[in-house]
Amino acid sequence: DSGVTQTPKHLITATGQRVTLRCSPRSGDLSVYWYQQSLDQGLQFLIQYYNGEERAKGNILERFSAQQFPDLHSELNLSSLELGDSALYFCASSVALVAGGELFFGEGSRLTVL
């Protein structure tokens, strides 16, 4: 158990819809990262928050947005969903802000867009 909690574990929805994925980081971790994992693209970094502020952006689409709340949990919002958005979405947390520190991953949220 990494200490990172993600909900929901599985989600099936239709194209055009909007979903929200939730992440609770490990106790004490200030950094939250969101990743998308698909078979053909591997693990793609989407966005990082540190103590409530956006710190780094990766390959995140404009249809996607995220935020980190004062209690440090984070949400990833995916809107106008397309078939290609079907993937595993991981949240990870770390104590440190910089790269090189250990990332603790949740079990992921599997999104299926039909």
Choice between 45 and 65, CB closer to another protein: 45
Choice between 23 and 81, CB closer to another protein: 23
Distance, first Cα to last Cα, the chain: 31
Report the nearest approach of another protein to the CB of residue 15 (Å).
26
Report the nearest approach of another protein to the CB of residue 6 (Å).
8
DSSP letter for each residue of the chain: --S-EEE-SEEEE-TT--EEEEEEPPTT--EEEEEEEETTTEEEEEEEEETTEEEEE-S--TTEEEEE-TTS-EEEEE-S--GGG-EEEEEEEES-SSTTSPPEE---EEEEE-
Residues that bind another protein (CB under 8 A): 2, 4, 41-45, 48, 55-56, 58, 90, 92, 97-100, 102-108
Report the nearest approach of another protein to the CB of residue 80 (Å).
25
Choice between 70 and 100, CB closer to another protein: 100
Choice between 7 and 45, CB closer to another protein: 45
